[in-house]
Amino acid sequence: MEYKKLSLGGYNLHLIKTDKFKISHVEVIFHNNVEIDNITKRQMLTRMLADSNNTYKTNRKLNLKLEDLYDASYYAFTSKVGNSFVTNFAVDFLNPEYTEKTLPKETIKFLFDMILNPNVNISEFDNKTFDIVKGKIKDNINLISEDPKRLSVLNALKYLGNTPSAYSNLGDIKSLDEITPNNLYEYYLNMLKNDYIDIFVVGNLDMEEITKYIIEYAKFNVIKNHIVNMHVDNKKIKEKAYSNNIRSVQSNIVMILNLNNLTEYEERYVANLYNIILGQSSVQNKLFRKLREENSLCYSISSYYQKYDGLILITTGVDHNSSNKAIKLIKDCLKEMTNNISDEEINNAKEQILTSLTYAKDSLDRIIDNYFYLSLGEIDDIDTRIKIFKEISKEDIYALSKKISISVIYTLEGGTNE
């Protein structure tokens, strides 16, 4: 795998040549600081630029064009990563050895046409498409209230206060109702002007030719020099419990942990291993054994390390009569993390994370993620990470555990079945 980075004025171009895949991938990533008032608007804009443009005004026309490009796949999405918006526009297409030699140029032209030639009439987005997309987003926001697990997490995060971590990535109905075709177009122009832009190309391609095509079609000319800080400084707060009621057989519990004053080594490495041992993914973690295997309180329980928010979220659903017992057992697991980790637990966690890092080289999405965050200085290269993860000790994890505190315990109380 050969990697090369070019700084081209208004954007950075990352060229990753590899023959591992039968498809090639081009991705344009916009990123900037979160503006809480514009979370919903960002999602709305992303969907508008994903569904149509001034050339392909309907979904049908867009799909016909993708068929012409040998069934290329085009998609866009926005994530709220800590204190930053990350908006991705991507296209996957067959390598030219399996198709016409002109396919890479045609596909790259298509991608930037979708981004830079929106479905706009006289300084506002097309009203018909706008109403369709707005309706879809409203439905998605309303669906949260029908999903007790998601609802409990969002409710719990609100108790962190006025911080980007406390707001849903989807936004809210009130903000959605305030978006108009005109102010959305103004926001689009603002994004083009102020967001940092990175373009990634991955595949077995002639990268000199690809660079020429990118320069021809990627008309991003504004140079940015402001600071984008992905990290949210969520201050330690005193532990407090909250609850609401819901018509459901189960109660959903969310516990939010603050990670306080971590070193870069702890944030990048030790906290990941801590979280795997505590409750991430596999059934070998402490939370699953304590609550599921030993006490049969839940079907599943998980913990999620939010690196850029400085948080760990623990979520589970239990019988409504078992909430207090479940919370006590979760706290018991947290106490075990301070002084009672077995050799088997730490070795299993290392094996899991090292396997994940090894497979990262075989996934297009993971390759892009790795080079993107590497270019921002937020992670180390894969070989360095593998080496450091192998060297983490129990003492490192015990030291980290002393910097972790519970801030919010939230229960969405069930007890009735609708």
What is the rounded radius of gyration, in angstroms, for the C-alpha atoms of the chain?
Answer: 23
Q: What is the pLDDT of residue 50?
A: 97
What are the structure tokens assigned to 334, written together?
Answer: 């947290």
Q: For 173-227, write each residue's pLDDT tens digit.
A: 999 999 999 999 999 999 999 999 999 999 999 999 999 999 999 999 999 999 9
Q: What is the pLDDT of residue 416?
A: 62
Q: What is the pLDDT of residue 100?
A: 86
pTM of the model: 0.94
Q: For 312-333, write each residue's pLDDT tens digit.
A: 999 999 988 899 999 999 999 9
Q: What is the pLDDT of residue 87?
A: 98
Residues 6+ apart with CB under 8 A from 212: none
Q: What is the pLDDT of residue 154?
A: 96
Task: Label residue 277 by pLDDT band (50, 70, 90).
Answer: very high
Say yes or no to pLDDT of 355 above 80. Answer: yes
Q: What is the DSSP string of 221-257?
A: -----S-------------EEEEEE-SSSEEEEEEEE
**Stronger pLDDT, 346 or 96, i.e. the higher one:** 346
Q: How far apart are the first and last CA of the chain?
A: 55
The backbone torsions φ and ψ at residue 248, rounded to the nearest 5 degrees and listed phi first, read -165, 155
SS3 321: helix
| Least confident among 27-36, 222-231, 259-268, 279-288 | 279-288
The backbone torsions φ and ψ at residue 140, rounded to the nearest 5 degrees and listed phi first, read -65, -40
Task: Label residue 90 by pLDDT band (50, 70, 90).
Answer: very high
Say yes or no to pLDDT of 418 above 70. Answer: no
What are the structure tokens assigned to 165, written together?
Answer: 């971590």
Beta strands 404-413 and 240-245, pairing class: parallel
Span 70-85, average pLDDT: 96
What are the structure tokens assigned to 270, written together?
Answer: 């030790």
Task: Label residue 386 by pLDDT band (50, 70, 90).
Answer: very high
Say yes or no to pLDDT of 95 above 60. Answer: yes
In eight-state DSSP terms, residue 301 is: E
Span 59-68, average pLDDT: 95
| Least confident among 145-149, 162-166, 312-316 | 145-149
Say yes or no to pLDDT of 363 above 70. Answer: yes
The backbone torsions φ and ψ at residue 376, rounded to the nearest 5 degrees and listed phi first, read -85, -5
Domains and CATH numbers, the chain: 2-217 (3.30.830.10), 240-413 (3.30.830.10)
Q: What is the pLDDT of residue 417?
A: 55
Say yes or no to pLDDT of 249 above 90. Answer: no
